[in-house]
Amino acid sequence: MTHSQDQIGIGFIGAGDVSLLHAEAVRRCPSAKLVGLWNRSRDRAAERAASFQCKTYSTPEALVSDPALHAVFVLTNLETHLDYTLLALEAGKHVLVEKPVGATISEIEQMKRAAAAAGRICMPGHNYIYEAGMARTRELVVTGALGRVISAYVMYNIHHPEEVAARYPGVIRQILTHHSYMLLYLAGRPRRLAALKATLHYARIPQEDIAMVQMELESGALAHFCASFAADDYSGDPWTVMVKLIGTSGSTRYSYRDWVETRPGIVHSQTYTAYQGSITNEVRHFVEVCVRGGGEPLSTLDDAITAQRMVEACERSVAEGRTIEL
């Protein structure tokens, strides 16, 4: 399904912190318009709607039934992603669903089948790969400028206070999902992996605040992940948030430290400008390439399924203390 030059009407299911980033992304996309939103808390819904200059809906069903909407962003907690995604697809809307896309591989497979049956796009919120620096990295890989990729590193070290981390299922599911789809996009699939996790600074919640993973890729290259809410890294490049590839003919890295503002972000102690940029580019691709043009996401539900398989393998590796074959 393609659209004319009229703006693509978008509705948000969920109005938490991530909706601030998506609302700004829609605002920056001339071919899209945020029509309205629904949120479980009516007070939060009213507050966000006033800020975003859009309307509110009394129920998710009312939102997906609005003919002014062409697409729905599912921005709720992970446990509800499947229900709201199916609701929107069955109503004939395209869907952008935030990561982690589903709680299980089966849930993401259900979304894929529903999207195919409805003839609509269901795009995972794999925002990092839409950032300009990531596109440059992939181009270097695809063109062979780096030679044969030997090693890959994806690192994340940003402190999250306990009251924020309590909303999330732990860094393996919340953050290593990002790492996984980035690795798939840039260097390919893993053949096997081994993971460790720890809880170092929470007083009340049991979730892990740091995890590390070692992998062998199908190409034979080795890869390393680190995801940490335990402490900020003030030592600068390259560790705060970094993607590094080393090849036989060269190397490259993408880092949050390329653009940093000296003021707090929504959760972070500093504002990493490129994060908003990645979501802006993601929304523009969804609207202009996928919804309007009938094209494909850069990262698909198949990639989301593989990323979920990697996350679950990390959990098995931690629980069983062994390397997991994928």
Domains of the chain (ranges, CATH numbers): 8-125 (3.40.50.720), 129-277+308-325 (3.30.360.10)
* Contact between 65 and 4 (Cβ < 8 Å): no
* Contact between 172 and 198 (Cβ < 8 Å): no
What whole-number distance in Å separates Cα of residue 38 and Cα of residue 9? 15
Please write the tens of the pLDDT for every residue from 20-33.
999 999 999 999 99
pLDDT value for 21? 95
SS3 168: coil
Rounded mean pLDDT for each run of 10 residues along the chain, 326 residues in total: 70 96 97 98 97 98 98 96 98 97 97 98 97 92 97 94 91 96 97 98 96 98 97 75 94 80 69 82 98 96 98 98 98
CA nearest neighbour of 214 among 191, 186, 184, 231: 191
> pTM of the prediction?
0.93
SS3 191: strand
pLDDT value for 235? 81
Please write the tens of the pLDDT for every residue from 66-109.
999 999 999 999 999 999 999 999 999 999 999 999 999 999 99
